[in-house]
């Protein structure tokens, strides 16, 4: 199955963005994975020390900052998938099917336990 148009459009825009700046040479899978991890840590920093309730009700300025960090993670992920020729849509659907098999509704509903402890 092909990727949804939004992911394909994003991939193509990222390709052009990197090409215009001659950054393709730096966008190795290792570098992209590292950059994505750094951005994920920056995303997590906004939630550090918050209670569950506080994390679910961020004020607008923090929410905007969180959205930017989420976008950074997504952009690096899409670029990494492009470099490794991974169809993110298909990979996500495959992983969802795997998780459905590992976490059947009748055993997992209402629990946060790992699949091998259900």
52-106 pLDDT, tens digit each: 999 999 999 999 999 999 999 999 999 999 999 999 999 999 999 999 999 988 8
Residue 46's domain spans which residues?
5-86
Mark whether 79 and 105 lie in a shared domain.
Answer: no
Mark whether 80 and 96 lie in a shared domain.
Answer: no
Number of domains in the chain: 2
pLDDT tier at 115, thresholds 50, 70, 90: confident
Mark whether 105 and 56 lie in a shared domain.
Answer: no
User: Which of the residue ranges 4-18, 21-35, 98-112 would you say has the lowest mean pLDDT?
Assistant: 98-112
Q: Residue 23 maps to which CATH number?
A: 1.10.287.1080
Task: State how far the Cα of 8 lies from the Cα of 41, in Å rounded to an integer.
Answer: 26
Mark whether 72 and 28 lie in a shared domain.
Answer: yes
């Amino acid at each position: 199955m092909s990727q949804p148009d939004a992911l394909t459009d994003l991939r193509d825009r990222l390709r052009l963005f990197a090409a215009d700046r001659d950054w393709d040479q730096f966008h190795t899978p290792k570098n992209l994975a590292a950059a994505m991890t750094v951005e994920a840590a920056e995303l997590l920093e906004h939630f550090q020390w918050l209670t569950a309730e506080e994390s679910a009700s961020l004020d607008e300025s923090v929410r905007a900052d969180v959205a930017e960090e989420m976008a950074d993670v997504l952009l690096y992920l899409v670029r990494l998938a492009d470099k490794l020729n991974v169809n993110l849509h298909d990979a996500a659907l495959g992983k969802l099917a795997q998780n459905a098999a590992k976490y059947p509704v009748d055993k997992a509903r209402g629990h946060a336990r790992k699949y091998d402890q259900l």
